[in-house]
Structure 1
Amino acid sequence: MHIMIVDDERIIRESFYYWFEKSGHKVTTAASGNEALERLGQTPFDLLFVDIKMPGMDGIELLAQVKEKYPETLVIIITAYGSIESAVEAMKIGATDYLLKPFKPDQLSLVMEKVAVQQKRQEEFNYLKGRLEKITRFDNIIGQSPAMTAIYEIITDVAGTDASVLLSGETGTGKELVAKAIHAKSQRANLPFIAINCGAIPDTLLESELFGHRKGAFTGADRDRKGFLEVVGGGTLFLDEVGDISPKMQVDLLRVLEEKTVTRVGSRTPVRVDFRLITATSRDLEDQIDAGDFREDFYYRINVIRIAMPPLRERRADIRLLAEHFLKKFCHETTKRVDRLLPGALKILEDYDWPGNVRELENAIERAVVLSRSRALGEADFAFLRPPPSASPAGPSLREMEKYHIRNILEQHGWNITRAAKALGINRVTLHKKIKRYAISDQQPSPTVDDS
C-alpha cells in the first residue's frame, strides 16, 4: 500500500514513516496541504493520514479536494481530543476514519484493519458495478446516443428469433460485439459462439474450416476433422467480412442454409447441422452484386435482418463514455493509476473524426495510458491525433487520408505489422501492399499542422 503522511510537525511525519515502512508499506511525507496535492498529481496513493490543523490549507480543505479529485484515495484524519467536532465534520465529507493524538501503535493497527475492510468493500462494489454495467450495456457495447439506443432495440427484437442477421458498417464500429450481444440474449446463449474472419482465410482453407474434411481428402489431411458448421452445435456462427468469400463458397453456404446439412471435403455423406448465422461486412454488397462479385440469392438469404452500425463520428455523444470505459480497462490491465480525462483531452477526442472508429479510439486511449506519467490525461497525451495536412484547397485526398491513417495506426502499435493489421481490420498481406504502395516508412516524420 502506498501511504502519504501529511503533517506540519516533523516528529509526527517521521514516527509514521518508520512505523509504516517497518510494516512493509511504501511511505511518502508532506509538510503541507499544497505539497500533498502536488505529490498526488504525480503519483497515485492508496491512503493519506492528514493532520486537521496545519498552517495555510488545513486538513478539512485538503480532504475536500482529495475527495473531489481522487475519490478512491482513502483519508484518515489526525486530530487532538479538543477537535472531535472537526473530526466528525471530516467523516461527513468523506474521511474513512480519524486518529486521536496522542495515539499508541495498537490504535494505529486498529485503524489499518478498518482501512483493509473498507478497501475490500470498495473492490466488491466495483466488481458488482462492473457486472451490472456489462448486463445493462449489452455485453460491452457502450453508448447512449439515439443511434445506439435504436440498435439495442433491434438486438432485443431479433435475439429471440433464428433469423439471419447482416451487420454492415465501417471497420471498427463494433459489429462483432453486436453479434455476441444477439447470441448472449438468445435461446442459444449457452451454446458456442464461433467467429470467423473470412477476409483473413484463403478460400481453399476456408472450405475445410467451415465444412471439415475426411482423412486423405488433400495433402496434410491426416485425420477426419469436423468443420465449424458442425462444431458450433446449435450455437451461433459469425462470419465477418462475408463480402470477401468467393461465389463458389457462397453457393455452398446457401445450400447449407437451405438444407441444414453439411458434407465434409472428401466425403459424400451429408451431416445434419443446427446453427444461427450472423454475418458482417464493411463493403457495399449491393455494389458487389451489380459488379457480379456477390450472388443475389445468397445476399437475400443472409440479409433477413439488417443492422447498420453507425461510424463513431456520427455518434460523438458516445465518445466520452467510450473513452472513460477504455481508460478504466487499460488502467486495470497496466496497473497504472490514471483516473480521469481533462477537459482539453476530451475536446480533442470529441472533435476528431475517428476514421478507424471505436477500435481506433481504444488504441488511442491505450497508447495514452501506457505513456502517461501523471494521473490525468491531457491535451499533450493526444497530440498524435493531428489531422493530416491538406494537399489542396479542397482538403486532403482519399489516398492521403488512408496513408495518414495507416501510418497513425502503425505508430500506435510500434510498427508491429500483425497488431496494426488487426486494428485496421485487414490482413498482413494487404497491409504490406499498402505500405509499399504509399511508401510508408518509420523514418518519416509525423505530419504536423501549421497553425499560423
Structure 2
Amino acid sequence: MNDYRILIVDDEPRQCVVIKAALEPEGYAVGTANSGTAAINALSTHAYDLVLTDLKMAGADGLQVLEFAKQHHPRCAVILMTAFATAQTAVEAMKRGAYDYIIKPFELDELKVKIRHLVERKNLVVEKESLAQENKSLRQELKQRYSIENMVGQGGAMQEVYKLVHKVAPSDATVLIRGESGTGKELVAQAIHYLSPRADKPFVAINCAALPETLLESELFGYEKGAFTGADKRKPGLFETAGEGTIFLDEIGEISPAIQVKLLRALQQRQIIHLGGIESIAIRSRTIAATNRDLEAGLKEGRIREDFYYRINVFPITLPSLRRRKEDLPELILHFLKRAGRDQNAITPEAIEKLQQYPWPGNVRELENVIERSLIMAGEQPITPMDLPLHIQGLQRLPTQFDIPEEGINLEDMEKRLIHRAIERAGGNKSRAAKLLGITRRKLYSMLERLG
C-alpha cells in the first residue's frame, strides 16, 4: 500500500510525528509539513493521494492548502483537522472540495478508518477507469477490424457493396443483406454498425435458424417470471439488450410466420411485449437482417408474409459469390496467409492457379478453411497443389466400396501399385506421397520395405 501517499500538515510538529508513526505501519508513504506554506511547496513538487491538514495555522491556513491541492491535484483528497469545527466551517470546506473533516482531539483508529475508506474508493475509481479504457480500446479495435477499409476485395462487385454500406450506415434504415452462405454477411453488418452513429453502442447478433421457434421468441423479446416452465425470473430480450445499438438477425428467411408477425410489430411500432407480459416496452435499436434464401420464392409459397417482406427489405445489399469476384481471389489468399503469420511466399503460383479454377460453392468461408488446412499440410514449406484438398486438386477419392471378383485380389500387389502411383504423383517426394495416401512418412517407408 506504500503507493498511497499522504501529506500531514500541522504547525504542531509533535502532532505530525504522532500521526505519521500511526500511519506508516499501515503501509502508507507519509510526508509531513509544519506550516501551510511548507505544504503548498511540497504540493508544488510532489503528488499526494491525501492531504491531512490542520485548519487553523499561521500564514497559509488549511483552506488555502485545500484550495491549492484541489487546483493542482484534482484527484487529491483533503481531510481537515480542527478543534474549532462549526457547521459553517464544515459546509465551507465541503464547498471547496474537502473530502471530510475530523475534530481534534480524535482517536487514531477513527482516522485510520477514514483513510481506509479513501483507499478503497481510489481502488474502485482506478478499476472503473481501467475497465472504461479497456472497453474504449476494445471498441476502437472492433471499429478498426470491421471498418470498410479492412474488407478485402477491390473488384467492381465489392466496390458497389462498399458504396451502399457508406450510404446506409449513417441512417437508421433497416438493412437486408442478401448472399450465399460464406459471403461475409455478418462482416458487412458489423461494418454498417461501426460506421454508424451507434458505433459505441452494442452490436448484438443472433442466428434465427439455430433456435426452435419458442426459444427464438423468448431470446428476441424476453419473458416474464413464470411465463413458462423454468422461467424463474424476468429476462430482457435481445432487442432490449441491444439498447441504442444494432441487432443483427441472421438467417431471417428461416423464421416462422408467427414470429414474423411479432418482428413486424417491433420494427413498425418500435415496441415489444415479453412472453407472459402485457406491457409494451419501447425499443431503440437498429435492425439489420441477412438471408441466403430466395425470399421472393418464400412469398409465393406462403412461408414469408408480404407485409414482413416489405418491412425488412427497405435497403437491400446483395453480396456477390466468390465465383463472381475471382479477381479478388489473390488478395483474399494473401489476407488469410497474413492472418496465419505468413506472406505471399507461403503459396506457389501453381497452387493459386488451382484455387482460381475451383468454383467455391462455400465462398470466402470455404477459402479461409482451405488455406488453413493447406498451411498445416505444407508445414514450413510453401503450399503446392498437392497440399490442397483432393477435390480442388482435381483428384477423385477412391470409392469406399467395390466388388471383389470371384477369383479374389492380391492385396499386397494393390498396396504396392497405390504407393507407387502416389510417389509418381508426388514427383518422387516421399513426404508428399505419404500425405496423398493419408499415412505418415514413417509408415510409408515401413510399407515400402515390407512390400519391396
Deviation sequence 1:272-330 (CA, Å, 0-9, x none): 11011111111000000000010011110010111111000000011111111111112
Q: Does 1:287 align with 2:273?
A: no
User: For each residue in 1:150-206, what CA deviation from the matched residue of structure 2 results, as whole angstroms up to 9, or x when unmatched?
Assistant: 110100000011111111111000011000000010000000111110011111000
* Gap regions ≥5 residues in structure 2: 1-140, 398-436, 439-452
Is the CA contact 1:139–1:177 (under 8 Å) kept in the aligned structure 2?
no
How far apart, in 1, do the equivalents of 2:395 and 2:186 lie?
30
Distance 1:212 1:243 in 2: 21
- After superposition, the C-alpha distances for 1:229-273 in whole angstroms (9 at most, x for unaligned) are 100001111111101000010000101111111111111011111
TM-aligned CA deviation for residue 340 of structure 1: 2.4
Paired position in structure 1 for 2:173: 163
Distance 1:159 1:204 in 2: 32
Given that 2:146 and 2:190 are in contact with CA atoms closer than 8 Å, whether structure 1 keeps it comes out as: no
The one-letter amino acid paired with 2:227 is A
1:378 paired residue among 379, 384, 390 = 384
Shift of 1:386: 3.9
Q: Work out the CA distance in 2 between the residues paired with 1:133 and 1:226.
A: 26
Q: Which amino acid aligns with 2:281?
A: V
Q: Which among 220, 233, 242 is matched to residue 232 of structure 1? A: 242
For 1:205, what is the secondary structure of its paired residue? Answer: helix
Which runs of no fewer than 5 residues in structure 1 stay unpaired?
1-130, 391-444, 447-452
Find out whether 1:310 has 2:316 as its counterpart. no
**Cα 1:296–1:346, aligned 2, differ >3 Å: closer, same or farther?**
same
- The amino acid across from 1:170 in the alignment is E
- Residue 188 of structure 1 is matched in structure 2 by 198
**Distance (whole Å) between structure 2 residues aligned to residue 288 and residue 133 of structure 1:** 35
CA distance in 2, matches of 1:365, 1:305: 34
Which residue of 276, 285, 288 maps to 2:286? 276
Q: Deviations over 1:69-125 (max 9, x none)?
A: xxxxxxxxxxxxxxxxxxxxxxxxxxxxxxxxxxxxxxxxxxxxxxxxxxxxxxxxx
Q: 1:134 offset after TM fit, Å?
A: 5.2
Aligned match of 1:367: 373
Q: Report deviation, 1:388.
A: 7.7
AA matched with 1:349: L
Relative to structure 1, the CA distance from residue 388 to residue 241 in structure 2 (aligned partners, 3 Å threshold; closer, same or farther) is farther
Tell me the matched-pair count.
Answer: 258
Q: SS of the residue aligned with 1:243? A: helix
Which whole-Å CA distance do the structure 2 matches of 1:169 and 1:270 have between them? 34
State the TM-score, normalized to the length of structure 1.
Answer: 0.54
Change (3 A) 1:136 1:269: closer
Report 1:5-404 matches (<5 A). 138=148, 140-331=150-341, 339-384=345-390, 385-387=392-394
Take 1:160 and 1:240, find their aligned partners in 2: how far apart are those partners? 21
- The residue number in structure 1 matching 2:405 is none
Contact 2:182 2:366 in 1 (8 A): yes
Deviation for aligned residue 1:374? 2.7
Amino acid at match of 1:359: R
Q: Name whichever of 377-386 and 201-210 sits farther off.
A: 377-386
Q: Counterparts of 1:293 and 1:132 in 2: how far apart (Å)?
A: 36
| Separation (CA, whole Å) in 2 of partners of 1:363 and 1:323 | 11
2:212 alignment partner AA: P
Query: Contact conserved, 1:338 with 1:376, CA < 8 A, in 2?
Result: no
Q: Structure 2 counterpart of 1:367, which letter?
A: R
Shift of 1:137: 6.1
The alpha carbon displacement at 1:133 in A equals 12
Q: CA RMSD in A?
A: 2.4
Are residues 136 and 171 of structure 1, via their aligned partners in 2, closer, same or farther at CA, if it must alter by over 3 Å? Answer: closer
Return the alpha-carbon distance in structure 2 between the equivalents of residues 347 and 219 of structure 1: 57
Cα shift at 1:378: 1.6
Distance 2:237 2:389 in 1: 47
Structure 2 length-normalised TM: 0.54
Alpha-carbon separation, structure 2, partners of 1:133 and 1:269: 36
How far, CA to CA, are the matches of 2:168 and 2:306 in structure 1?
A: 23
Contact 2:354 2:385 in 1 (8 A): yes
Distance (whole Å) between structure 2 residues aligned to residue 284 and residue 386 of structure 1: 32
Amino acid of the structure 1 residue aligned with 2:307: D
1:195/1:139 CA distance change after superposition, 3 Å: farther
Larger Rg over CA atoms: 2
Q: Distance in 2 between matches of 1:320 and 1:132?
A: 25
C-alpha spacing 1:291/1:387, structure 2 compared with 1 (3 Å): farther
Per-residue deviation, residues 324-378 of structure 1 (Å, max 9, x unmatched): 111111237xxxx895221001101111110000000000001011222234212
The alpha-carbon deviation at position 136 of structure 1 amounts to 9.5
Q: 1:189–1:133: structure 2 CA closer, same or farther, 3 Å change rule? A: closer
Separation of aligned partners in 2, 1:374 and 1:268: 63
Structure with more relative contact order (C-alpha pairs < 8 Å, separation 6 or more): 1
Change over 3 Å in CA distance of 1:387–1:239 after alignment to 2: farther
- In 1, the alpha carbon distance for the partners of 2:146 and 2:189 equals 16
